[in-house]
Amino acid sequence: MKTEGILGLGPHGFHRIAYTNWGDAAASRTLICVHGLTRNGRDFDRLAAALSDRWRVICPDVPGRGRSDWLPPSDYTYPQYLADMAALIARVGATEVDWLGTSMGGVIGLLLAAQPNTPIRRLILNDIGPFIPKAALARIGEYVGKDERFATVDELEAYLRRVHAPFGPISDQDWRHMALQGYRRLEGGGFALHYDPAIGPAFLANGIKDVEMWSVWDAVRCPVLVLRGVESDVLPAETAAEMQQRGPKARVVEFANTGHAPALMNESSIAVVRDWLSATA
């Protein structure tokens, strides 16, 4: 695994986009894994390590998160994210890529996959779909961007365990990994979460309302796998069922004792991803 970076261009100049690069650059298949709203690319370490025998796996930190640059708050938009990920695909050099996106990362993948001449050949949406209820967005809005401060990494880990309990069954080792890869040191001492708190106001800027993207879904032509936590409030069962019946007619796999969004850190969930990508080679 190597940490690399590229330059993206936005309304206020260039910014650095960090990413981890797993596997052989000469691999015939490239998988891009993109995280959720407040997370970072290191969430995929376990999955990337498991797949890197066959795939080159690229895991970016979307700007404002992890080791990527922070942006002016007005630039935390999907058009900017799409432009940045298009630049990343160009840097990778693959004519076609597979895409796995968790929550926000899935929305980015969905929007890219719906474009004419898209380079996305296979799409995995992790607990996200073309309809997102406003109640779920309101729940997320209660904690995103609060700029919590912690005296120790242990306190930060305890916070992650509480806020992200819906991620499902996660080992102590993986919770610790998320904490160690998800903090930033504060100048006056202590720790904070490794994302720009301004993402919160940007997330809430247009108000909390249902998000509907069925026309985007219907424009997707590649095979799609949908992963869903049985207890998810972001991807209702009714939405997942409709995704099986229209547009690309996705395959849906559900995970018990899990809400939004499956962490994809255990062997069984990683096997689901690997088996589907291998079957659709």
Sheet holding 97-102, edge to edge: 2-10, 13-22, 55-60, 29-34, 97-102, 120-126, 224-229, 251-255
Q: What is the pLDDT of residues 7-55, one digit of tens each?
A: 999 999 999 999 999 999 889 999 999 999 999 999 999 999 999 999 9
Q: What is the pLDDT of residues 223-262, one digit of tens each?
A: 999 999 999 999 999 999 999 999 999 999 999 999 999 9
- State the pLDDT at residue 205: 83
Q: Is the pLDDT of residue 281 over 60?
A: no
Mean local confidence (pLDDT), 57-72: 98
**Number of C-beta neighbours around residue 82 at 10 A:** 16
Share of the chain above pLDDT 90, in %: 93
Mean local confidence (pLDDT), 50-77: 97
Which sequence spans correspond to the domains of the chain? Answer: 2-134+212-279
Classify burial at 173, counting beta carbons within 10 Å of its beta carbon; exposed 0-12, middle 13-18, buried 19 or more.
exposed
- State the pLDDT at residue 280: 63
Buried b (16+ CB within 10 A) or exposed e, 210-228: ebebeebbebbebbbbbbb
Q: What is the pLDDT of residues 184-212, one digit of tens each?
A: 999 999 999 999 999 999 998 878 999 99
Share of the chain above pLDDT 70, in %: 99
CATH 3.40.50.1820 fits 2-134+212-279, yes or no: yes
Six-digit token string for 254: 């559900």
Mean local confidence (pLDDT), 162-166: 95
Q: What is the pLDDT of residues 210-230, one digit of tens each?
A: 999 999 999 999 999 999 999
Q: What is the pLDDT of residues 147-157, one digit of tens each?
A: 899 999 999 99
Alpha-carbon distance of 195 to 182, in angstroms, equals 8
Average model confidence (pLDDT) across the chain: 96
Mean local confidence (pLDDT), 118-124: 97
Phi, psi for 34 (deg, rounded to 5): -125, 130
